[in-house]
Amino acid sequence: MEGMTTSDAHAEPRLPTVAVKAGRPEVQPDQPLNEPLVMASTYVAGGAVEYGRYGNPTWAAFETALGALEGGRAVSFASGMAAISTILDLVAPGETVVAARHCYQGALVQLASLEQRGLIKVVLVDIDDTDQVLAALNDDVALLWIESPTNPALEVADLPVLCAAAREAGVTSVVDNTFATPVVQRPLDLGADVVVHSATKYLAGHSDAVIGAVVTRRDDIWRAVDEKRRTMGALPGTLEAWLALRGLRTLHLRVERAQSNAQELVRRVARHRAVDRVRYPGFGGIVALEIAGGAGAADMVSGSTRLWVHATSLGGVESSLERRRRWTSEPLTIPEGLVRLSVGIEDVPARRAGRLASRRAGDRCSGVGTPLDSAMRARRHPRGSTPGRDALGDLSGRGGERRLLAGSGGCRCEPSRPSPRPARPGRSPRRRAVFAQRRIGAGRGARDQADQHLVQRKPHGSAPPRGRRSATCRHRRSDLTSS
Ligand SMILES: Cc1ncc(COP(=O)(O)O)c(C=O)c1O
């Protein structure tokens, strides 16, 4: 190819090519391009698989592709929680697990359950406080459980430092890479021993399959995990593995688009008066907003959208949102008014167009036509007394303009009310910490790529204190867990 050097020709394929090519059948006449959906409980004796609990060609294709993306060998599971539980089951009785205080609540529930049964000890740490994590890595520790960014606090861990320290201390490090995906960070390259995924989210990416995976370069761990799957039987569904594999083919495109939408959203809501604090690590498609007015206002926001779906889970092509503390198992250190946004891949009309449309409609609210306007109404009208439904429009705008972030005709601001100034984060002296990850897919840690972890807080806002400052995680066990 013109302009291609010899070294380019032999370079490792880059992530988009891996996503498209890995885990396909051999290229031969009349072979399908895609691995077929193989439905089988039983195989003819004498081969490598023998029985449906021991293996399946469709799972294997998904595992090959995911392994190539993360740079290790994958074992797929019935769900992200099945993958997590399998890894935790490798911890010997009496050993200690150091875990992120704000990691996914299902993992926290599982850790608490194992501890209550006297099987393990759990030490919760603020994963973005590197010194605190390092200090916790004593001789009793077997496992360091990292999630980065965390769900839903969006804290970012210093993966290279933590994984190196864990290795030095003989501690196995595990990174839940569900939020970042290998498009943004590859923890195995950064020193982690194990990656876990809720492939239900970005990897499968279409909100239609529940599936999980473990990826590692360590043969001992791979064998132990594969053995656990055979004996405990937390198998992925064949259809789910097929769907997840199909999802992987477009992972990079979806993540890039969700990320650019999220970055634009953060720019637009940065100084919205209904928001006390914006949490965004600068990369990925998940944003958390701490809504002024707490639970009632946040419920109002999540319950009043049209284009945005009020739903748990994340990482699908569609934009969705929910107030996390509606789940009783969410740690109490997560603010009541925190709404987690999973930004989808819909279109984002130019802000100017949205504002013009807004003016044309005689609407004085020229800011972002987001559900945040609902929160403002909720503040003016306490819960239960809020007039009207659907409050002030959606990220879609209204009047047939199915637009994301349009900030247009959907606003029902009282005409007399002064317009909120549109966010101009770059010009505001109040703007505290803003960083933009310039590119994605770099080999370095996501945290390294950032100038600074973007956690914006209004200086005079009413945001509750950050979770990490709370002395203990008063995590409640409950049957109610979410995703
Ligand atoms: C970060 C993270 N890890 C793991 C899980 C659990 O995955 P699953 O729902 O596929 O069991 C979730 C679910 O939301 C999650 O957000």
- Residues involved in catalysis: 53, 104, 176, 201
Q: Which residue has the tokens 């990174």?
A: 175
CA of 160 to the centre of ligand 1 (A): 23
450 within ligand 1 shell (Cβ under 6 A): no
- Ligand 1 pocket residue status of 203, Cβ below 6 Å: no
| Range 178-203 average pLDDT | 98
Closest C-alpha residue for ligand 1 atom 2? 104
pLDDT at 252 over 50: yes
410-427 pLDDT, tens digit per residue, is: 222 222 233 333 333 333
Report pLDDT for 112.
Answer: 98
Can you tell me the distance from the alpha carbon of 428 to that of 439, in angstroms, rounded to the nearest whole number? Answer: 24
Tell which wins on pLDDT, 430 or 129.
Answer: 129
CA distance 43 to 193: 33
The model's pLDDT over 350-378, given as tens digits with 9 standing for 90+, comes to: 765 444 333 343 333 323 345 555 544 54
Kindly state the tokens that stand for 356: 């013009």
Of 35-39, 58-62, 467-471, which range is least confident? 467-471
Ligand 1 neighbourhood includes 210 CB (under 6 angstroms): yes
Instruction: Give the rounded percent of residues in the chain with a pLDDT score beyond 70.
Output: 71
Ligand 1 centroid to residue 81 C-alpha, Å? 6
Q: Per-residue pLDDT averaged across 99-121, rounded?
A: 98
The response to whether residue 165 sits with its C-beta less than 6 Å from ligand 1 reads no
The preferred substitution site among 79, 84, 201 for testing ligand 1, maximizing ligand atoms within 8 Å of CB, is 201
pLDDT in tens, 455-477: 455 543 333 333 333 322 333 33
Residues 104 and 334: beta-carbon distance below 8 Å: no
pLDDT for 184 equals 98
Dist. CA 445 → ligand 1 center (Å): 21
Q: pLDDT band for position 397 (50/70/90)?
A: very low
pLDDT in tens, 254-290: 999 999 999 999 999 988 999 999 999 999 999 999 9
Whether residue 148 has its Cβ less than 6 Å from ligand 1: no
- State the helix-helix crossing angle for 80-88 and 105-116, rounded to 10 degrees: 30
The residue whose CA has the least distance to atom 12 of ligand 1 is: 483
The pLDDT of residue 440 = 38
Q: Classify residue 135 as exposed, middle or buried by CB count within 10 Å of its CB (0-12, 13-18, 19+).
A: exposed
**Which atom of ligand 1 lies closest to the CA of 201?**
10
Q: What is the mean pLDDT of the chain?
A: 80
The answer to whether 285 and 258 are in contact (CB under 8 A) is: yes
Sign of the C-alpha dihedral, residues 288, 337, 291, 456? negative
Q: In CATH, what number does 6-249 get?
A: 3.40.640.10
Give the C-alpha separation, 158 to 450, whole Å. 11
User: How much is the pLDDT for 348?
Assistant: 85
pTM for the complete prediction? Answer: 0.80
253-469 topology per CATH? Aspartate Aminotransferase, domain 1 (3.90.1150)
What are the boundaries of each domain within the chain? 6-249, 253-469
CB-ligand 1 contact for 200 (6 Å cutoff) = yes
Is the CB of 105 inside a 6 Å radius of any atom of ligand 1? no
- 162 pLDDT exceeds 90? yes
Which protein residue has the closest C-alpha to ligand 1 atom 16?
483
